[in-house]
Chain A
Amino acid sequence: MARESFDKEIQFLRMLSLTSGAYNRKQYAERLGISVHTFDKTNRRLKEIMQTVADQRSGAEASREMADLVRFQYGESAEPMLLFLFRAKSMKETEVQRLSVLLHTLQHKTLTAMELLDACCADLPEDLALPDEKTIRSDLKYLEEVGVIRKEPGGRPYRYALQQDVLTELTVEEQLELYDFVDMMANTQVPSVQGYLLRDSLKKAITASFPQEEATEPYIYKYHYYSRILDEAHLYTLLGAIRQRKRVQFLYFSPKKPSSYSSQNTNPRFEREADGRSNRIVPLEVIYDHQYGRWYVIGYQGRRGFVKFRMEGITQLEEQDSVEEQYMLELKQQWTDISRYSWLVDTGNTVTVQARFFHPERGQRNFILDRVRLQGQWGKIIPETDHTFLYEIQVNGTTEIKPWLRSFGSSCEIIAPQRLRQEMIKEWKEIAEYYEPVREDVQLPDDDTTE
């Protein structure tokens, strides 16, 4: 099957979901590097698909703008609308008809290819040309390859059966249990697209036994980055290439500019990301960043050494020739060594960061300590006084850890290195200036939650 590229759709959806409402169509088209005409066409196509998929659930209004349709609505559902990207592949109407008749026919009994051919001839609408045996055999081969049907044991002529053990071997209650598990895992783990697809099918299956809406939407997840699923489109190509030691080539569009942390890299051996041009790399590892919900691919690129690319900028990804196993192993080992202390992907010089954390007011749960434990990666926590503790970590460069430390506000004081301490002081001064003059007498109302 021809490999289809969804680069345009991915960039399009990402832009809509991230910047929803910011630009008019001309501005969007310009930023995506496509014509207004192409923008409109893509918009129409995606909207049509979206509505076909969405209508069955919520009866989405036809008049809603595309940007509204992909907008994240917390609390409504744990189902990401962006999933429909993976449903957008175009297919011939005849093929859709044929495959669905085949599957429907197999729903209750096992059949041979010839019996299926007969069923197809009987069931397809009259205006469609009747399929021949060869077509049916190749359809069956495809369905078997993707694992939707299987050949039953026994000799020729083979009998085919639908793979639906989940429905036949699980009780109704167990199906619900499984649905819950899939919902949880798809929403909390990466990768998740297959999980969301499975959740979708299970949802249909259990609705027969549990028609209430509460059956399928009891869970919500805050605050997760659901746009991450768009980049899973590249994930398996990259993982496959790493597994088979293949080089890959792609066109890279830096999201505006390289971020400050990679540009501060001073070691010429580990250069920073490249802009808007063709790249050929030996891919070594894929990294998912939980801080921002972004994907990176790490590779080796001849003279430029180790390179890092954000998956959001990758288009026209193609597999190429393979490299020697020994070479790949060496590169992987080198990368493992230099990235051992990377908070995310920074490979700058290793420094020891030391920070003092202040406990919250007496009598309160020590949520500061809890959070440092939960998120502090490999850093060490050293008790200090009754109201403080120290946190120490070796990291490659301080740029990537800085936002995390800063997010603790005045509960965190940087001790070392001195440069980071000075930077933090400078930043707090600048932030203070943003909010001058300050109005007094304002208090947050009590929130109405209990624990």
Chain B
Amino acid sequence: MNLFEKMFNYQMMTRLNETGLFTWTSQERAWLRMMLNHPAAREALSPVTLDKMYNMLNGEQDLNLQDYLTEKAKSEENNVSHPLLRQLRLIILHHQGFRMTGRVRNGRTSHDEFGFPYKLEYSMVKKEWYVLWYAPRFDKLMSTKLHSIVTVEAQSVEPNTASSYTARIAAITEKRKTTITIEVLPEFNQELSRILYAFSCFEKQVEYLEAEQTYRIELTVPRNEMDYVLSKMRFLGKRVRIADHTMLRERMSETAAKALARYVEKDPDMHPEHSNEVQHHQREVGSLAKADGQ
């Protein structure tokens, strides 16, 4: 299989698009055939569509990649699709709102809340689908796990209202963004590639200070995603340090102190430099509640 086929050439594509011509190669069909074997296919496609696809692709090459390709350090995949996706995606398509009843923390149920959904988000880390929606009553952006939804029902929204919601969503999203600067300790510059791969899933800008031979990575993330950044920081350990964010620096410091405190009681030889573990201990419990990163 050659991914650089002439058929995929950009000039060809441009030309074919002029009349909305649809072409597909046997490569794409073989890939699709392979994907239809994934359990998600039965959830994402209706039986009729699935049946048609099977018939259509029956004669295609079987890729059998599992014999040569192994995936490592993968999160277990509980669901790639979700039964509610279909309904919610149609609500988004038609610029509708919804009324939703869902399970919230501590086993309580939220009743019949009105919202305006705008995206369906899949977390590659938690392997969960979320619906992102706007709650006009609180003027807030919300994110709800599809698994916690009990019922959802479409509700029509006036076009004018819908566009005002869309504008609010864009404004709040922008406002929620924050930047974090991370510095690569120069002694680990030779591991730069690895470090940058680890951060490649974020919006980022890299700066190289030649005189100091230091790389600084400026991440732009929504404020509520900081715990994931922290998890990445702990993952990379001493190779990187948060350069500019007081709150996150504080959190990293707390984590280190608390982690050391875990060891100190049982390893009497260990003398941590910190004298204030107890105080840290108390506060870390609180902040850990949000440390649900990677």
Contact = CB atoms under 8 A, between A and B. Distances in A.
A210 interface: yes
Contact of A180 (B89, B145, B230): B89
5 contacts: A21-B205, A91-B9, A218-B119, A222-B124, A257-B190
A371 to B, nearest CB: 7
A428 B256 contact: yes
A441 B86 CA distance: 46
Contacts of A407: 231-232, 234-235, 293-294
Interface in A335-353: 342-345
B34 to A, nearest CB: 9
Contact of A374 (B105, B126, B145, B208): B126
Nearest to B106: A363
Contacts of B6: 1, 89, 91, 95, 99, 142, 146
Contacts of B205: 20-21, 71
Interface string B187-210: 001111110111011111111100
B150 interface: no
A286 B105 contact: no
B161 interface: no
A425 B263 contact: yes
B253 A377 contact: no
Given A189-B35, A374-B127, A450-B144, A222 B201 contact: yes
Given A184-B80, A223-B201, A427-B237, A166 B22 contact: yes
Given A104-B19, A451-B144, A180 B8 contact: no
Interface centre among B10, B40, B81, B226 (most CB of A within 10 A): B10
Contacts of B26: 146-147
Interface in A224-243: 224-227, 232-233, 235-236, 239-240, 242-243
A451 B291 CA distance: 15
Interface in B254-276: 255-263, 267, 270, 272-274
Interface string A1-43: 1011010000000000111111100010000000000000000
Contacts of B124: 188, 221-224
Interface in B27-83: 27-32, 35, 38, 40-41, 44-46, 48-49, 52-53, 56, 65, 68-76, 80-81
Contact of A293 (B200, B257, B290): B200
A166 B33 CA distance: 13
Contacts of B207: 21-22
A435 interface: yes
A190 B258 CA distance: 38
Contact of A204 (B22, B194, B198): B22
Given A72-B203, A406-B235, A409-B259, A435 B249 contact: yes
A420 B27 CA distance: 46
B137 interface: no
A120 interface: no
A365 interface: yes
A169 B290 contact: no
Interface residues of A, number: 165
B72 A290 contact: yes
B127 A292 contact: no
B121 to A, nearest CB: 5
A293 B61 CA distance: 27
B29 A184 contact: no
A91 B4 contact: no
A89 B206 contact: no
For the side of the interface on B, what is the size category? Answer: 35 or more
Nearest to B251: A444
Contacts of A202: 22
A63 interface: no
A444 B289 contact: no
A445 interface: yes
A233 B238 contact: no
B23 interface: yes
Contact of B75 (A73, A167, A290, A425): A290
A18 B8 contact: no
Interface in A61-110: 71-75, 84, 86-91, 93, 95-97, 99-100, 103-104, 107
B73 A344 contact: yes
B250 A96 contact: no
A435 B256 CA distance: 9
A59 to B, nearest CB: 15
A358 B3 CA distance: 47
A128 interface: no
B278 interface: no
A170 B200 contact: no
Contacts of B45: 177-178, 181
A446 to B, nearest CB: 9
A181 B291 CA distance: 32
Contacts of A129: none
A344 B72 contact: yes
B8 A205 contact: no
A219 B117 CA distance: 12
A214 B95 contact: yes
Contacts of A232: 3
A365 to B, nearest CB: 7
A417 interface: no
A193 B289 CA distance: 38
Nearest to B228: A223
A106 to B, nearest CB: 9
B2 to A, nearest CB: 7
A188 B120 CA distance: 14
Nearest to A49: B10
Given A22-B207, A410-B259, A451-B105, 7 more contacts: A20-B206, A53-B14, A56-B14, A374-B75, A403-B235, A431-B252, A442-B250
A175 B40 CA distance: 17
A312 B196 CA distance: 13
A182 B242 CA distance: 38
